[in-house]
Structure 1
Amino acid sequence: MKKVPYGISNFQTIREQNYLYVDKSKYIEILENEPPYQFFIRPRKFGKSLFLSMIENYYDINKAEKFEELFKDLYIGLNPTERRNQYLVLYINFSNLVVSEGKERFIESFDNCVLSAAKEFLAKYDKFFQDKDILNESKGAEIVINKIISLTNTTNKKMFIIIDEYDNFANDLISCGNKNLYYEVISSEGYVRTFYKTIKTGTAFCVERIFITGVSPIMLDDLTSGFNITINLTLENNVNEMLGFNEEEIRSILKEYKIDEMFDLETVLKDMKKYYDGYLFSKFSKNRVYNPSLSLYFIQNIIKNKVYPENLLDMNIKTDYRKLENMAFNFRDEEIVKKLILGEEISTKLVEKFNLEYMYDKKENFVSLLYYMGMLTIHNTYFDKYIMAIPNYAVRTIYWEYFIEKFQEKSKLLVEDEMLFDAVNNMASNGKITLFNEYLKNFISVLSNRDLMQFNEKSVKMILISFFINGIYLVNSEFEVEGGYIDIFLSSNKAYDKYINYEWVIELKYIKESEKDKFEEVKNQGLEQLQRYKCSSKLEHASNKSKKYLLIIVIGKKHVECIEL
């Protein structure tokens, strides 16, 4: 059985050490039919580095003797192009630049990054060069890249320049609020833009192909005047599935690891679809893709432990997303965040490149940035508008945790404590709501007047969701059944399946203090809705757990009634 390639981004290692490889080599042929200077972005942990490693191995002139070993059973091995193993490949990764210690330290780290890549390039292709010491006295990324291009031009060979994480330092600068340094290094005569201008000059000589990746188009507008040669392939239909796994690939992986001998295969597919699928990168495509890193994390866990992972979101990926989240939420557009938390969709025009000076002025910039980061995806389109939604359950938990943090900062209330833990456990194992009822009443009773301003049904729903997201339930907001949309359906987290005897269907109602005489009418309406849900075949087949039905009515700002059907 092949090893699970979780966290492995070196193509040669995967091919030589019996790791599973999902064949993406057909996209080499597709990319060759596009203009040669290419720009492509995808969210964090979406397989960019592995893909770059694959194309580096394919085009590297030094890897010609290894071509059969590395590619023999892949699409491109059976259908090689004329450009295979024809280039001197310069690979630069900008993921580790220093941004927190000022301009001089940043430039030093930028220079060292480029110099290190250049030295590796010269060492790798030393047989082609006469002057091995050309970089000994060189200082500055612009000078170094210019010398490498000039030297390669004397060899009668062509260069392929690959740049990974082109925007990493920009994202970090914006996230920590250091816009001044960003403007300095990316301005018309700024250090970074000058570096890219030099690469552009090289395209008139030996630089035949360029491929640049990152997670956002955050620098694209600012670079354009000096580097206006790349085609942006990010939204193109023919590369929609270039990174990530489609459903057929996920099914194939599960069969490879004999998951069907441990679990019902269709159930696992259904669960993975809910947790990790949903990404659509082109409005012209119909096929959605799964986050590959999260999918492999999940599969590795169930192979090793024969049970679903307790945390559906890999902590390594969670850390990466939180860094991006800090940048995105600099917009402070809480209304959009609230809508997304409640499962609503957002209509927007998609911004294809940002100018930092105007970035925070428009709502569509915020939504577009969330899309590029993988925190939103295309749900549908309408004329020139994109209808955006959260792609899957794993990403949704990031929004919920963000809400909890902000809510706790404002209210000084702690959402998680032992009483809540016991209350939720009692609901799951015994089907009893006594402790939860008490907890909810106590929680709302101590909310401040500031917390209770504009208090409504949506406010109650967000608070309730925050109670359950880190527990043993999966929270399904606006769960669609034949009888309508369930406000909250608490389905079991299969990592804790043996402890859960009951799942909960919750209907929420809010009555203004001035309209409390409508209580009986609202109660009857809520109970009638629950009765309809109870007859739902979709809900019945959602799992084999016993279902409990709960109506929660909040009256005014302090009074709570929990009524079980």
Structure 2
Amino acid sequence: MNVKIPYGESDFEKVVTENYLYVDKTKYIELLENDASYELFIRPRRFGKSLFLSMLRNYYDINQKDRFEELFGNLYIGSNPTEKRNSYLILKLDFSNIKTFGGKEELIESFDERVIESVKDFFIRYYNILDCKNDKLQFNNSIGAINFAASMTSNVGKKIFVLIDEYDNFANDLITTNEELYYDIISSQGYIRTFYKALKALTTTTVDRIFMTGVSPILLDDLTSGFNITKNLTLEKMYNEMMGFTLPELETLMERLCLFNIFSRDILIDDMKQYYNGYLFSEDSKQRLFNPNMVLYFFDNLVRYNKYPKNMLDLNIKTDYKKLETLAFNFKDEETIETILAEGQIETTLVQRFNLEYMYDRKENFVSLLFYMGMLTIKESFLGDVTLVIPNIAMKEIYWEYFKLKLAETHKLDVDNKKIKAAINEMAVKGNCNKFIQCLKKSLESLSNRDLVKFDEKHIKILILSIFMNNIYIANSEYEVEEGFIDILLSKNKAFAESINYEWLIELKYIKEKDRNAFDKIKSEGLKQISKYKNSDKLRKTFNLDNMKKLLIVVVGKKDVYVEEEI
């Protein structure tokens, strides 16, 4: 029987019983069980949170006791079961689809419906234990529902394990669309805080454990007075690899799929590192992670078609991150985005709790939010500060797409996508950059004099990378070699490798109009840098330098663009 790829699957029982690939994360059960009783864990979207919750549900569910060997026998925890296995009634709450666009009453009604549905499912699952007739399952609100579930469970001498998926989803929507309503529902007498107060009260009687997941700690601080019992495990070293794939785990999956029979091991792993790897969630850890959903999407395409997908970034993930962009870029901090895009990194102090009242006053909040969303990750840390970087090319694409739209909106750039595509095709196939330069000139000419006041080499780079970014080339900014950092390195997208004849090494220089007389000196410096770069051992080992064009672009003011190709 062929092994299946669990792309989009979040049902643990289905995955382990129907011959799907599964990376064994069950060793974390005993770590979590020996830690706090009430836990919060944050990871970016599509990072395996729902599947992990499903695994916990099956492990602790009293109804699955007779199936323990079937479900867990081949996994770590099957040989190392904990004291509390199959000892709980599981109440699973999912707040991913709470309605936030219709006002307070509709939000509360939607919240109540989700909780009440979960409680009714709870009684259906445990009808043989709780002995509760359907006519008793009539609830006025969510608090009444959970209190009734706890009371009936207490009557039979059992305990409840509450699993909460996407605890912050509706909050993330509200703070970008309706802050007033957000404050209302999480105020001291607000409905959501009152619900969590009621849940907290149940921890003194029937609710023995809680495990919550989300994508940001935004709601955490505002719930504190009503729900100050959870321990945030997000940044702890021992849980860094709890979700996501390590390189050894990835290689095991690839071997099971026999991918190394078709593709070069080294090339395949290197390509996946560029696109899907790089995530590090603890300052004290060294193990970087691959985004599991991105990896499974890639595997699904490789197995189906024996070639790379045309879109290396799953379009479903792009859609999900669009929602998060609205949240993150509500800060309107273009300067920070420019720094991240141009320099590839930014230093900050990670914020672990957000208070919406002061949310937009601190740059650290914005940068930290990008970290929790997975759009930045830890590069290194020193004396309490961390350096964050864009984790991989997939995330860079989201930045470039956003910034391209922002440039067009803010600076009224004249962008002809059809001409740009033709220009890039000519660079790739014929090694000719004339059309590309013409597009660049036209874009620069559309800038106002006000735009040029703070204009420098960084802005030229951002302009090129955002406007000319597409899926033909991988646009590497500040590509590191022995002699320094190449401004832009355009390398082949492997999905189109057979059609791409040329790659490009581009050195950029910008001269303000008033400094035009420095042109010869700056041009000479640029050509010397290219000469150093092209002798790089790293570059030679990774690329075919015979088919790599070396280009110096010097922009003077906003009208003159000088180009010289170094042979």
TM-score range, shorter chain: over 0.9
Distance 1:542 1:120, change over 3 A: same
Q: CA deviation at 1:323?
A: 0.5
Amino acid at match of 1:440: L
Q: CA deviation at 1:421?
A: 1.3
Q: Which residue of 1 aligns with 2:90?
A: 89
CA contact (8 A) 1:473 1:491 kept: yes
Amino acid at match of 2:492: S
Dislocated runs of 4+, deviation >4 Å: none
Q: Which residue of 2 aligns with 1:447?
A: 447
CA contact (8 A) 1:164 1:213 kept: yes
**Does 2:127 align with 1:126?**
yes
Q: CA deviation at 1:450?
A: 3.6
Q: Distance in 2 between matches of 1:365 and 1:472?
A: 35
Q: How does 1:510-521 map to 2 (within 5 A)?
A: 510-521=510-521
Q: How does 1:432-443 map to 2 (within 5 A)?
A: 432-443=432-443
Q: Which residue of 2 aligns with 1:536?
A: 536
Amino acid at match of 1:321: Y
Which secondary structure state, in structure 1, belongs to the residue aligned with residue 279 of structure 2? coil
Amino acid at match of 1:426: E
Moved more, 198-207 or 241-250: 198-207
Distance 1:292 1:416, change over 3 A: farther
Distance 1:515 1:50, change over 3 A: same
Distance 1:134 1:205, change over 3 A: farther
Distance 1:352 1:446, change over 3 A: closer
**Does 2:346 align with 1:346?**
yes
Q: Which residue of 1 aligns with 2:289?
A: 289
CA contact (8 A) 1:122 1:132 kept: no
Q: Distance in 2 between matches of 1:159 and 1:480?
A: 53
**Does 2:66 align with 1:61?**
no
Q: Which residue of 1 aligns with 2:252?
A: 252
Q: CA offsets per residue over residues 4-41 of structure 1, 9 Å max, x none?
A: 11100000111121111110011001101101111111
Q: How does 1:129-168 map to 2 (within 5 A)?
A: 129-133=130-134, 135-168=136-169
CA contact (8 A) 1:415 1:466 kept: no
Q: How does 1:23-38 map to 2 (within 5 A)?
A: 23-38=24-39
Q: Distance in 1 between matches of 2:408 and 2:502?
A: 29
Q: Give % identity.
A: 53
Q: Unmatched 5+ residue regions in structure 2? A: none
Q: How does 1:192-231 map to 2 (within 5 A)?
A: 192-231=192-231
Q: Distance in 2 between matches of 1:123 and 1:469?
A: 52
Q: Which residue of 1 aligns with 2:118?
A: 117
Q: Which residue of 2 aligns with 1:489?
A: 489
CA contact (8 A) 1:508 1:553 kept: yes
Q: Distance in 1 between matches of 2:172 and 2:489?
A: 37
Distance 1:518 1:147, change over 3 A: same
Which secondary structure state, in structure 2, belongs to the residue aligned with residue 415 of structure 1? coil
Amino acid at match of 1:257: L
CA contact (8 A) 2:414 2:443 kept: no
Which secondary structure state, in structure 2, belongs to the residue aligned with residue 109 of structure 1? helix
CA contact (8 A) 1:552 1:560 kept: yes
Amino acid at match of 2:561: V
Q: CA offsets per residue over residues 370-400 of structure 1, 9 Å max, x none?
A: 1111111111111111111111111111111
Amino acid at match of 1:206: T
Q: Distance in 2 between matches of 1:133 and 1:202?
A: 23
Q: Which residue of 2 aligns with 1:7?
A: 8
Amino acid at match of 1:431: G
CA contact (8 A) 1:171 1:327 kept: yes
Q: CA deviation at 1:174?
A: 1.3
Q: CA offsets per residue over residues 516-550 of structure 1, 9 Å max, x none?
A: 12212111111111111111121122233611100
Q: How does 1:323-334 map to 2 (within 5 A)?
A: 323-334=323-334
Q: CA deviation at 1:414?
A: 4.5
Q: Which residue of 2 aligns with 1:358?
A: 358
CA contact (8 A) 2:98 2:170 kept: yes
Q: Which residue of 1 aligns with 2:411?
A: 411
Q: Which residue of 2 aligns with 1:374?
A: 374
Q: CA deviation at 1:343?
A: 3.2
Q: Distance in 2 between matches of 1:388 and 1:244?
A: 19
Q: Distance in 2 between matches of 1:73 and 1:534?
A: 51
Q: Distance in 2 between matches of 1:126 and 1:397?
A: 50
Q: CA deviation at 1:416?
A: 4.6
Q: Which residue of 2 aligns with 1:108?
A: 109
Q: CA deviation at 1:76?
A: 0.4
Q: CA deviation at 1:348?
A: 1.4
**Does 2:467 align with 1:464?**
no
Q: Which residue of 1 aligns with 2:423?
A: 423
Which secondary structure state, in structure 2, belongs to the residue aligned with residue 219 of structure 1? helix
Which secondary structure state, in structure 2, belongs to the residue aligned with residue 346 of structure 1? strand
CA contact (8 A) 2:302 2:308 kept: yes
Q: Distance in 1 between matches of 2:315 and 2:333?
A: 26
Which secondary structure state, in structure 1, belongs to the residue aligned with residue 474 of structure 2? strand
Which secondary structure state, in structure 2, belongs to the residue aligned with residue 562 of structure 1? strand
Q: CA deviation at 1:135?
A: 4.4
Which secondary structure state, in structure 2, belongs to the residue aligned with residue 184 of structure 1? helix
Distance 1:408 1:123, change over 3 A: same
Q: CA offsets per residue over residues 179-220 of structure 1, 9 Å max, x none?
A: 111111111111111111111111111111111111111111
Q: Distance in 2 between matches of 1:135 and 1:324?
A: 40
Q: CA deviation at 1:556?
A: 1.6
Q: CA deviation at 1:453?
A: 3.3
Amino acid at match of 1:39: L
Q: CA offsets per residue over residues 298-319 of structure 1, 9 Å max, x none?
A: 1111221222122121110111
CA contact (8 A) 1:468 1:475 kept: no
Amino acid at match of 1:186: I
Q: CA deviation at 1:448?
A: 2.7
Amino acid at match of 2:411: S
Q: Distance in 2 between matches of 1:135 and 1:386?
A: 54
Q: CA deviation at 1:254?
A: 1.1
CA contact (8 A) 2:278 2:289 kept: yes
Q: Unmatched 5+ residue regions in structure 1? A: none
Q: Distance in 1 between matches of 2:394 and 2:415?
A: 20
Q: Distance in 2 between matches of 1:18 and 1:74?
A: 14
Q: Distance in 2 between matches of 1:479 and 1:135?
A: 65
Q: CA offsets per residue over residues 146-170 of structure 1, 9 Å max, x none?
A: 1111111101011101011100000
Q: Distance in 2 between matches of 1:439 and 1:129?
A: 71
